[in-house]
Amino acid sequence: MTDLVVVRKEGLYCVPGQFYIDPWRPVDHAVITHAHADHARVGHGHYLSAKAGVGVLRSRLGEINIDGLEYGETISRNGTKISLHPAGHVLGSAQVRIEYRGQVWVASGDYKIEPDRTCAAFEPVRCDTFITESTFGLPIYRWSPQQEIFDGINAWWRKNAAEGRSSVLFCYAFGKAQRILSGLDAEIGPIVCHGAAQALTEVYRASGVALPATVMVSDISDRSELKKAIVIAPPSAAGTPWIKRFGDYSDAFASGWMQLRGARRRRGVDRGFVLSDHADWPGLMSAISATGAQRVIVTHGSVATMVRWLQQVGLDAGAFDTEYGDDADEKNDAATIPLQTGDAATGSDHA
């Protein structure tokens, strides 16, 4: 049987369907799994994504020629059947299911298993071949239930507010920021968003995701209010004049990489909260086994370790060399992101 998906210089290509999945170079037909910058780029002739992701893609890429597909809805292209299924990663994220002559392939994009309030929950899709990410594909990565992390963030915020200090929480503006907002206890004080996070938060609200009220720093005239505030800001805001206006603040970083002590130290923040929008090791394992796939192809992350492990458990495992895992939006921040975890792991900036 011939492969339904191969790697070309432009990106992952569905041969019979004649379209690309998250291509990194401009193409005519692109199916986009989600709007993080390493998966969704400008310059394609036509875009197809989950309907829930259209708003975010437009807000990030501007005027694009895009069609939205409901999750589970099927369309045909050159004899292939294409459908999109929730990946549980960020608003509008989808796995791409391709069926051709009885053969089914699923490309996952990025995914996480634990449901959150800001996007549709991950749905396992049966297939013959599963193309998976492996951002946190090492057995050391095991996430605590998100409510525990939210409780930790609220307790840290409450303590800072009681001591008259604002709480600055660095996290990626798309996905992570909104998921954290969904878990904040708005009773503690005002929630201030950096412009980058605020814009995307508005897109989430427009899509019907309920989030607590947020303000921009310019909306706060009473300086004493700032001392009780939590500030949601992208990592690139660290050290800027914008952040200095909060005076004596406590800062924290929320990312899956915070599980590594070295990463916390390199970040130079007071606290690290281990929260990721990617599956941890047990999550990757359960997702892969739920597909029933005999063949698994690993894209970005701990590729070598993951492939070795999958081969040991008897699967036909291989890798695709891709350009995922490097969110251009956060590039100016890359110098402080931990890129090595002792294996072949590379840092995904939106982890």
Binding site residues, Zn ion, CB under 5 A: 36, 38, 110, 324
Alpha helices in 24-171 (DSSP H): 54-61, 146-162
Q: Which residues contact residue 277 at a Cβ distance below 8 angstroms, ignoring those fewer than 6 apart? A: 89, 90, 110, 112, 175, 176, 179, 350, 351
> Helix, strand, coil proportions of the chain in percent (round to 5)?
30, 25, 45
C-alpha dist (Å) from residue 150 to 116, 157, 162, 345 = 12, 10, 18, 27
Nearer to Zn ion, 53 or 189 (CB): 53
Q: Please tell me the distance from the alpha carbon of residue 337 to that of residue 351, in angstroms, as a whole number.
A: 10
Nearer to Zn ion, 253 or 324 (CB): 324
Q: Which two tokens stand for residue 183?
A: 């878990």
Beta-strand pair 80-86/74-77: antiparallel
At its nearest, how many Å lie between Zn ion and the CB of residue 38? 5
At its nearest, how many Å lie between Zn ion and the CB of residue 72? 21
Nearer to Zn ion, 17 or 53 (CB): 53
Nearer to Zn ion, 190 or 325 (CB): 325
Nearer to Zn ion, 251 or 329 (CB): 329
Beta-strand pair 94-100/103-107: antiparallel
At its nearest, how many Å lie between Zn ion and the CB of residue 167? 26
At its nearest, how many Å lie between Zn ion and the CB of residue 56? 11
At its nearest, how many Å lie between Zn ion and the CB of residue 251? 24
At its nearest, how many Å lie between Zn ion and the CB of residue 326? 8
Q: Which two tokens stand for residue 168?
A: 């600055």
Residue showing tokens 């569905």: 14
Backbone angles phi, psi at 5, to 5 degrees: -130, 135
As a whole number of angstroms, the longest Cα–Cα distance in the chain is 68
At its nearest, how many Å lie between Zn ion and the CB of residue 272? 20
At its nearest, how many Å lie between Zn ion and the CB of residue 74? 24
C-alpha dist (Å) from residue 326 to 24, 25, 151, 315 = 11, 15, 30, 28
Nearer to Zn ion, 112 or 228 (CB): 112
Q: Which two tokens stand for residue 319?
A: 């890798």
Nearer to Zn ion, 190 or 283 (CB): 283
Closest CA to 322 of 6, 97, 82, 53: 6
Q: Which two tokens stand for residue 311?
A: 């081969």
Helix H or strand E segment including 100? strand 94-100
Nearer to Zn ion, 227 or 350 (CB): 350
